């Protein structure tokens, strides 16, 4: 599979410190790309979504989300070094349900919840880690049940 990079603008309204985020994507047609990365800063997008991107001097800029892939995205920020040692204890039940993650830095993880996972069960496990003060939780995008074309950036 050939992968390329696409660039999302990150809206200041999201309270993010980054102005953009670059993600790996698979070309699937003229100007169309299926996301293969889990976003760390972009809200409203998940792995598996198909986007329309236009070639610019800064790279392939995402203009809109064309189709949802059914994945959901959560982010966890491990609270401290001690909690990082307990991370795997709380992560294992999520991995057992098909969840994966990408790690941006020592304590920041972007979590992908695949469409076949029971979202309520996953949410409960994520909340359990938050209640134990292992991590702080952010829901970035819920894509479960939304596999159809969106016709726009929703």
pTM of the model: 0.86
Q: Measured between alpha carbons, how far is 44 from 142 in angstroms, rounded to an integer?
A: 8
**What residues contact residue 66 under an 8 Å CB cut-off, 6+ apart?**
32, 50, 51, 52, 149, 150
**Domains of the chain: residue spans and CATH:** 4-67 (no CATH), 72-141 (3.30.70)
pLDDT digits (tens, 9 = 90+) for 20-77: 899 999 999 999 999 999 999 899 999 999 999 999 988 899 999 999 999 999 999 9
- For residue 114, the model assigns a pLDDT of 96
Nearest of 56, 52, 19 to residue 35 by alpha carbon: 52
Q: Is residue 29 packed enough to be buried (19+ CB in 10 Å), middle (13-18) or exposed (0-12)?
A: exposed
Task: Please check the confidence at residue 150 and state whether its pLDDT lies above 60.
Answer: no
Question: ∠ CA(137), CA(143), CA(144), 5° rounding?
Answer: 100
Q: Measured between alpha carbons, how far is 71 from 47 in angstroms, rounded to an integer?
A: 6
């Amino acid at each position: 599979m050939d992968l390329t990079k696409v660039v999302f603008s990150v809206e200041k309204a999201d309270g993010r410190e980054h102005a953009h985020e670059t993600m790996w994507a698979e070309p699937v047609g003229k100007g169309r790309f299926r996301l293969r990365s889990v976003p760390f800063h972009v809200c409203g997008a998940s792995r598996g979504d198909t986007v329309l991107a236009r070639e610019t001097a800064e790279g392939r800029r995402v203009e809109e989300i064309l189709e949802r892939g059914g994945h959901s995205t959560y982010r966890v920020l491990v609270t401290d070094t001690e909690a990082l040692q307990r991370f795997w204890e709380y992560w294992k039940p999520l991995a057992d349900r098909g969840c994966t993650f990408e790690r941006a830095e020592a304590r920041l993880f972007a979590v992908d919840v695949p469409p076949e996972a029971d979202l309520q069960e996953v949410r409960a496990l994520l909340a359990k880690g938050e209640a134990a003060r292992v991590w702080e939780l952010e829901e970035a995008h819920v894509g479960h049940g939304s596999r159809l074309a969106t016709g726009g950036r929703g």
